[in-house]
Amino acid sequence: MGRRTFEGYVRPDGRSGVRNQLLILSVGHLTGPSARRIARAIPGSRLVAMPYGSSLIGADRALQMRAIVGMASHPNVGAVLMIGADGPKLKLIDQAIRASGQSLVTLCLDDHGHDALTLSDRGLREGARLLREISRQRRQSVPAASLLLGVECGRSDPSSGIVANPLIGRVVDRLVDEGGRAVFGETMEWLGAEHLLRLRGRTTAVGDALAAAVLRRERLAIESGLDLLGNNPNPTNVAAGLSTIEEKSLGSIAKSGSRPIESLVGIGEAIDGPGLHAMDAPSFSPESLTGFVASGAQLMLFSTGVGNSYVSALAPTIKLSANPEACQSLREQLDFDASAVTLGRTTPDEATERLLDLCMEIASGSLTWGEVLDEGDEVLSRLGEAL
Amino acid sequence: MTTIDPASPCETRNPERNVDALQLALQDNVATLLHAIEAGSTCVVAAPDGPRTLKAIESIPIHHKIALEPIATGEPLRKYGEIIGEARRDIAVGAHVHIHNLISRRAR
């Protein structure tokens, strides 16, 4: 079988985009409403509003900086209009983004008479110009191996762990075998399955780090006094038939396929080298997906059991379910129907080929339901207290 | 040590055969229902070593679990060949296995 390719946008830093988006980025929420106003006025642009500002300290401060730069220099982004109220901070971020070769205009509220409308007017004109400019770029054939695929599950049911997640795992294996990269996260959903992940670490150190990461979150759960039953598994999971975190985890990790795990990274950290990687991050889907995006994932495979409409704003998110009822009723949400496997009407091998085909199709420009319906957003995790 | 073979749960199935539930690994003492089942009805379970038949002693919703053998209080419940928790009370063959009789061993 030949290696797969897709039609992508080749970026100055060598990465490939599956979209060519204008990102309207607000840093600190003083300019969030202006960013929203500008994004509304430029159809096709993508809004990311990073709400927190100068009160961030320590790990949160570093994470916010890393994630902003990661999203702004993301290969799916053709150009960025960045606005904010903190001049020195904007200057630092501006320099870091430009280092990737990204096309960028930065506007500070202070330079616009402290007036949101003056800032919005200038932002709209600059944004319009950027969008027109990037529309001149053309797609070209690139190998599937240039993808970093993020894998996620949300509002799972038992069909997720038995059919949909193993199917995603097969796609991950195939991409890794072609020299591509994939990342899975949702650390809490390794609990009860960490002995299996540990054995898959490329080195003993990686295996130990995977186990330590989930044990740390288990301690957090115990110290918080939170009963995982009703939290993870959540009430929707429980109603659908998942009884414990162990049961959910064993199904969840099937998304990671079977290849060695090359590294464990933090939210939005660089994912270096081909192969499968793990991200130590919250399991809540909006935070998890944004972590993958900040690390450069261009495409997501997202399984659901009973249905979950949430997608990433910057990375097309392919939704699939193996639950026959959900596939019947959620026709404008699910991009891939895996219920034929559940019903024994097709084999996992056939379904894997079809899902790989769909990945290449979406990577080449076909829209997901989440994109058509604009269900996407980016939500960065907060780790601790602020000043 | 069991690794999860993504293929096995699906490929044990024959669409022509009337299968009600899936046992994912040999060691498992629960199976997952492919459709809702009524109390007293016969349940055909597709297992790695071939089909087996048992009687559901209560009604069980789609995708929920049915006990394949008697399980005493405190004993582990197994799915995917791995421990998914323990019995919080004695569980009879054909019983519905869920949060009323199965409890996690983690984060407690």
Domain spanning A21-134: CATH superfamily: Response regulator (3.40.50.2300)
> Looking at the domain assignment, is residue B3 inside a domain?
no
* Nearest partner of A370 among A316, A293, A331, judged by Cα: A316
**Percentage of chain A lying above the pLDDT 90 cut:** 97
Residue A337 is inside which H or E element, if any?
strand A336-337
CB contact under 8 A, A247 and B79: yes
pLDDT of residue A230: 87
Amino acid letter, A235: P
Are A254 and A170 in contact, with CB atoms under 8 Å apart?
no
For position B94, which CATH number holds? 2.30.130.110
pLDDT of residue B18: 81
CB contact under 8 A, A191 and B107: yes
> Looking at the domain assignment, is residue B90 inside a domain?
yes
Residue B30 is inside which H or E element, if any?
strand B30-33
As for how many domains chain B has, the answer is 1
Per-residue confidence at A12, pLDDT binned at 50, 70, 90?
very high
CB contact under 8 A, B97 and A345: no
Q: Strand pairing of A148-153 and A299-303?
A: parallel
> Looking at the domain assignment, is residue B38 inside a domain?
yes
pLDDT in tens, A65-93: 999 999 999 999 999 999 999 999 999 99
Mean pLDDT of A309-335: 97
Query: How far away is chain A from the Cα of B39, in angstroms, using its nearest Cα?
Result: 17
Q: Which residue in B2, B3, B4 has the most chain A C-beta atoms within 10 A of its own C-beta, making it the best mutation to test that interface?
A: B4
Are A387 and A57 in contact, with CB atoms under 8 Å apart?
yes
> Looking at the domain assignment, is residue B12 inside a domain?
no
**C-beta pairs of A214-219 under 8 Å, 24+ apart in sequence:** A214/A187, A214/A188, A214/A190, A217/A187, A217/A188, A217/A191, A218/A191, A218/B106, A218/B107
pLDDT at A41 over 80: yes
> Looking at the domain assignment, is residue B5 inside a domain?
no
> Six-digit token pair at A282?
């919250």
In chain A, domain spans: 21-134, 143-377
pLDDT of residue A193: 98
pLDDT of residue B2: 37
A-chain residues near B107 (CB < 8 A): 191, 218, 221-222, 228, 245
- The single-letter DSSP state of residue A3 is P
Angle between helices A58-72 and A285-294 (to 10 degrees): 70
A57: left (phi over 0), alpha (psi -120 to 50) or beta: beta
> Six-digit token pair at A92?
């630092």
> Looking at the domain assignment, is residue B99 inside a domain?
yes
Q: Which of A157, A222, A243 sits opposite B102 (nearest CB)?
A: A243
> Six-digit token pair at A384?
């601790």
Q: Is A229 on the interface with B (CB under 8 A)?
A: yes
pLDDT in tens, A220-276: 999 999 999 989 999 999 999 999 999 999 999 999 999 999 999 999 999 999 999
pLDDT at A296 over 50: yes
Are A14 and A21 in contact, with CB atoms under 8 Å apart?
no
> Looking at the domain assignment, is residue B84 inside a domain?
yes
What pLDDT tens digit does each residue of chain B (108 aa) get? 333 444 444 444 444 458 999 999 999 999 999 999 999 999 999 999 999 999 999 999 999 999 999 999 999 999 999 999 999 999 999 999 999 999 999 998
pLDDT of residue B4: 40
Give the range of the structural domain holding residue B27, as residue numbers without chain letter: 21-104
Are B80 and A248 in contact, with CB atoms under 8 Å apart?
no
pLDDT in tens, B5-16: 444 444 444 444
Residue A223's CB: how many other CB atoms inside 10 A?
Answer: 8
CB contact under 8 A, B108 and A222: yes
CB contact under 8 A, B80 and A251: yes
